[in-house]
Amino acid sequence: MLEPRHQVIFYPEDPVSLSEATQIRTSPVHLSTLPSALLCPHASYDMSLQALHKSFARTAGLRPNLVVVLVPLHQEVLMCDEPAFLFSLEGEGMVIGGKPIRFATDVLAHLKALYTPHLALQESYFEEESAFELTLPFINSYVPDTPVLGLAVGTCSKPQLNVLERLLASITDYEKKTLFIVSSNANALLPNDVAAEHAYHLGECLRRGDTLLEAQQHHLISCCNLPSLEAIRRQKWATQGWNIDSWYYKGQEYPHPMVVGEGKEKIVWHLSASLGEMHVSETNL
């Protein structure tokens, strides 16, 4: 079992505090089919906790056999690791808050056989990036005992994006009951007014199910995990746009992205969203 590296700074190290922070919250609306996907932010829990709960609450009643966490690389892939641009972890799992989280080693072996040299095992990228690790306690809380596959996704050329699209399809061919979790903030660290514009455009593209590539080319969006969102959009099961659930800035919910505080302060918006068929509980009809 691998040891966690991002506790204390990004999430509580104490098991009791971590359990309290990630305790299940209910939602009247939730996903009803698999495959499906969640969009979650990555930041320390004091900034991202509410958005993470909002997304994960959509899993009520789901029984996935596999959870795939797609996290972005905020760094360049080392030349020694090329031509790989997708990375995963070697090992049986990780213990966080005293609870073991099992990795989907069978799925990883299947993908390695199909996608080497595009996919490689390299733990160092996960040591630098906190997104995967801070998401695991929520998986353990909302969909416990489900094997997890972590994939760190680098910047993609068009051919590489096509590879990622095929790889995600291979996952659901192997295991249909898969829940994808895309870890991405809504915009890069930008001045307040520009950040709001980029976050708004991202939300509109996701809601409509539009390609993100054109918006990126016109510098209208700047989310950090665009390749994963675009590859998810291209999946056969993703027949509609994302459900945009909530917007957050510094842990506070807002109706939509807007200029907050000083106009030129650089900020990041967080977005909670879900993709898939939705069900409304009868008690809320």
What's the pLDDT tens digit per position in 148-190? 999 999 999 999 999 999 999 999 999 999 999 999 999 999 9
Q: How many other C-beta atoms are found inside a 10 Å radius of the C-beta of residue 194?
A: 18
Higher pLDDT, 85 or 8: 85
Q: What was the pLDDT predicted at 9?
A: 76
Closest CA to 97 of 22, 42, 183: 22
Instruction: Answer for the pair 30, 278: CB distance below 8 angstroms, yes or no.
Output: yes
**What CATH code is assigned to 29-284?**
3.40.830.10
Q: What is the mean pLDDT of residues 116-141?
A: 93
Long-range (24+ apart) CB contacts under 8 A made by 102-106 are 102/145, 102/147, 102/148, 103/147, 103/148, 103/149, 103/150, 104/66, 104/68, 104/147, 104/148, 104/149, 105/147
Give the start-to-end residue ranges of the domains of the chain.
Answer: 29-284
Q: What is the pLDDT of residues 197-256, one digit of tens each?
A: 999 999 999 999 999 999 999 999 999 999 999 999 999 999 999 999 999 999 999 999
Residue 285 confidence class, pLDDT cut points 50, 70, 90: very low
Average pLDDT over residues 114-136: 92
Token duo for residue 117: 């040299």
Q: Would the pLDDT of 130 be above 90?
A: no
